[in-house]
A and B are shown apart, each in its own frame.
Chain A
């Protein structure tokens, strides 16, 4: 009897344990979801005690702060506060004088810059014509040629010092996008004396510029601490005493830090996290359109993708609006060509291919594509959202009689190996958006024969237009060329243009005047705290 009781007890306990185990995981999930809704009642702002300092949570560490070593968005998020270029691009994407007071094109290939006077680098070194010359000599010299920046600036032949505060930039060919390129990344001005004395390796970890904040400490993969530049040349700025950038790769952890007030700004909020932030009363969600666009690009060398009717049919078959509204919860914008609405060269008259499965079937029939034809789709395995999108695409294409095999592969292998070699199936995901916000940057790389990410697309007229816009610095003329180019590309349909990405930022409400940047280049000098 006693033994039986024991067996029963064990059995009951076993069931209890299983139920508990099940509940605990269920319960856990609910916590995540309702976290935001349960928070607001507390009311107080956990970051209030931090005072005139701001902490920003970013997802990755660029590893080197030397402007010519990397070309990463996270570099610009931080370094935009440390370094400045001759030209400044505002958060509203307007070009303004930066370290140069003014400039003048004396002819298509020569620009004379007049520099601002009385500006010092963070180490006290004076900013002058020598520093400008040094910066570009370094960028275009041996040191620069080890990194990814110099290829953006090859139109610069040389920089000549006229006097202490004027320089002449000689160009080897006209470069319509050069002024924009001078507003950041590889073209930010660096201190010659400091680099020569302390060496390049030191500069990687201890950057010195002229910007509103100076970097006072950097722990790789942990944090970069920026303090106010007391001698900043813009009157009364910056307003904050200190900004710390913390590197927190996992989005859920970044969100936890934001909820606990450990950070004030969270970069890269996932679509699924948006509601939690909106539901917390001391936080706000800020969204901003980015230059980045996503498309399923076709490898035209793989049959039947060589047939323009097939490419158009696939464009008609996919309901892009539905993808944006359901999978991306509306945090994305429709596009008609492979560029965002911010891009110079975007054609607002073109509307995305409408969702029309009947038309798609017709075109496929005309092209002689048999029902059940299988297409390989390659996507990077790390992008969870895009996996869902690929499944939706597969569903839409099945509706018009095509079969899709989704191949989820390592992202780096996809972009650096499979796409360039034409091994990425009939179509593949490609995300792109240059910070210059000029269609030149995208179109040349994607449609000109022989470029890295153009395994097979070839069209004489497209190439002629690409060359023509590059040869001109007249923006009206270029706009006209781009109008023609976009219309042509729309017809040729070398890809299915899915959407323009929207960046989400979670921001503590104690911050005032924080405007999220379109292209990751955060500016914090005007930001204040309550």
Chain B
């Protein structure tokens, strides 16, 4: 188990290194952070040269990359060109909002998708199943910005029940979580349904049923638990990508998350923030993946991580 974890962590180092290369060189392909900085000002050639020098952007690329790598190792990504603040501070002040939204979205998705998926599978082929599947389809096809704006119009503008934007207490979390959760739940419900169907065809389910155990107990205890595995993988990966990938929802609900930070930084070519943000998300993604893999052995004791991974 321990060697497995260590080996996985070594993988992480390789992954982060590869990502550092990609992000560093890719953002330098187009655009220039210095002339963007001028906004409404006068970007004269002399001023652009001067600032380029002051930001160290005139140094050869391999030196800049070396400095960046050194920063990655010491977890010091430098200071943002725009705000003058350390990149790590900028990321950490947003972590709370980001985690809250990702968790909120996942909880909503689970609350909707698990019952829908399970019932669809159990009542396969009935109108209930049909409804369930249509529901998933709608969930998948909704553009999330549209759903977000519609929810704002209904629940904030017309009914005045919930705030339309901002990050201010539990009530402000509801609409963005539903928006995020609805989209996730479509895919998740389908996944739960198909893995449930697969498990329910297994012999041990028939055995359990024949022993006279009540059918719901069989479904929840025997079938659902075994159908959880692919679902957990999916949720783990989704959680990782939600941390940086809920940009549109963050935009619609004025949510101060990491995704918006990185997108704004990309628009401004704020290199240190883009680099730091992407590396940070990559590390989280790898860690979440590791946790997901480790959780398998808890859910399904047959999987022994040490040998199983070979």
Taking beta carbons and an 8 Å cutoff, which residues of A are in contact with B? Answer: 6, 9-10, 13-14, 17, 21, 25, 28, 31-32, 35, 46, 60, 62-64, 66, 69-73, 142, 145-152, 185, 200-201, 204-205, 219-223, 246-250, 252-253, 256-257, 259-260, 262, 410-413, 415-417, 420, 434-435, 441, 444-445, 450-453
Contacts and interface: CB of A to CB of B under 8 A. Distances in A.
A79 to B, nearest CB: 13
Interface string B132-173: 001000100000011001101110111010011111000000
Contacts of B264: 60
17 contacts: A9-B127, A13-B127, A17-B134, A63-B80, A63-B82, A64-B85, A71-B38, A145-B54, A148-B51, A220-B83, A249-B260, A412-B36, A412-B268, A445-B43, A451-B44, A452-B43, A452-B48
Interface stretch (B15-23, B218-226, B249-257): B249-257
Contacts of A441: 42
Interface string B69-88: 00000000000101111000
A146 B45 CA distance: 15
Interface centre among B30, B36, B84, B154 (most CB of A within 10 A): B84
Contacts of B130: 10, 13-14
B47 interface: yes
6 tightest A-B contacts by CB?
Answer: A151-B47, A63-B83, A71-B41, A71-B39, A221-B256, A248-B254
A146 B37 CA distance: 10
Interface string B4-35: 00000000000000000000000000111101
B55 interface: yes
Interface string B239-256: 000000000000111101
Nearest to B252: A250
Nearest to B55: A146
B127 A260 contact: no
Contacts of B38: 71, 148, 151
Contacts of A142: 54
Contacts of B146: 25, 28
B25 to A, nearest CB: 16
Contacts of B44: 151, 445, 451-452
Contacts of A151: 38, 41-44, 46-47, 50
A163 to B, nearest CB: 33
A135 B50 CA distance: 20
A32 B131 CA distance: 28
Contact of A250 (B84, B138, B158, B251): B251
Interface of B: 30-33, 35-48, 50-51, 54-55, 80, 82-85, 90, 93-94, 127, 130-131, 134, 138, 145-146, 149-150, 152-154, 156-158, 160, 163-167, 251-254, 256, 260-261, 264, 267-269
Nearest to A12: B127
Nearest to A69: B84
A201 B165 contact: no
Contacts of B154: 31
Given A152-B41, A221-B256, A146 B51 contact: yes
Contact of B84 (A204, A246, A256): A204
A58 to B, nearest CB: 11
B254 A247 contact: yes
A71 B32 contact: no
A149 B83 CA distance: 14
Nearest to B142: A25
Given A253-B254, A416-B33, 12 more contacts: A35-B153, A64-B82, A64-B84, A69-B83, A73-B39, A147-B37, A151-B41, A222-B254, A248-B165, A253-B149, A253-B165, A413-B31
Interface SS of chain B: helix
A303 B145 CA distance: 43
A46 B146 CA distance: 25
A148 B47 contact: yes
Contacts of B80: 63
Contact of A150 (B47, B90, B251): B47
Nearest to B269: A412
A262 B164 CA distance: 9
A221 B168 CA distance: 13
Given A71-B38, A416-B31, A416-B35, A252 B54 contact: no
Contacts of B82: 62-64, 69-70
Given A145-B51, A252-B252, A416-B32, A71 B37 contact: yes
Contact of B256 (A62, A204, A219, A412): A219
A204 B86 CA distance: 12
B30 A252 contact: no
B83 A64 contact: yes
A416 B46 CA distance: 15
Contact of A204 (B32, B83, B254): B83
Contacts of A222: 166-167, 254, 256
A416 B32 CA distance: 5
B157 A35 contact: yes
Contacts of B165: 246, 248, 250, 253, 256-257
Nearest to A39: B157
A256 B156 contact: yes
A259 B163 CA distance: 12
B33 to A, nearest CB: 8
Contacts of A145: 50-51, 54
Contacts of B149: 32, 250, 252-253, 256
Given A69-B84, A151-B47, A220 B93 contact: yes
A293 B12 CA distance: 50
A415 B39 CA distance: 11
B269 A416 contact: yes
B32 A249 contact: no
B159 to A, nearest CB: 10
B9 to A, nearest CB: 32
Nearest to A46: B160
Contacts of A450: 45
A128 B118 CA distance: 74
Contacts of B127: 6, 9-10, 13
A374 to B, nearest CB: 24
B152 A256 contact: yes
B40 A434 contact: yes
Contacts of A417: 30-32
Nearest to A440: B42
A44 to B, nearest CB: 12
Contacts of A256: 149, 152-153, 156-157, 164-165
Given A13-B127, A146-B55, A148-B51, A221 B260 contact: yes
A200 B138 CA distance: 51
Q: Which of A152, A201, A253 has most chain B Cβ within 10 Å?
A: A253
A260 B157 contact: yes
Nearest to A432: B40
B48 A71 contact: no
B152 A445 contact: no
A253 B252 contact: yes
A246 B166 contact: yes
Contacts of A31: 150, 153-154, 158
A455 to B, nearest CB: 13
Given A221-B256, A249-B254, A415 B152 contact: no
Contacts of A445: 42-44
B195 to A, nearest CB: 24
B179 to A, nearest CB: 12
B115 to A, nearest CB: 19
B51 A147 contact: yes
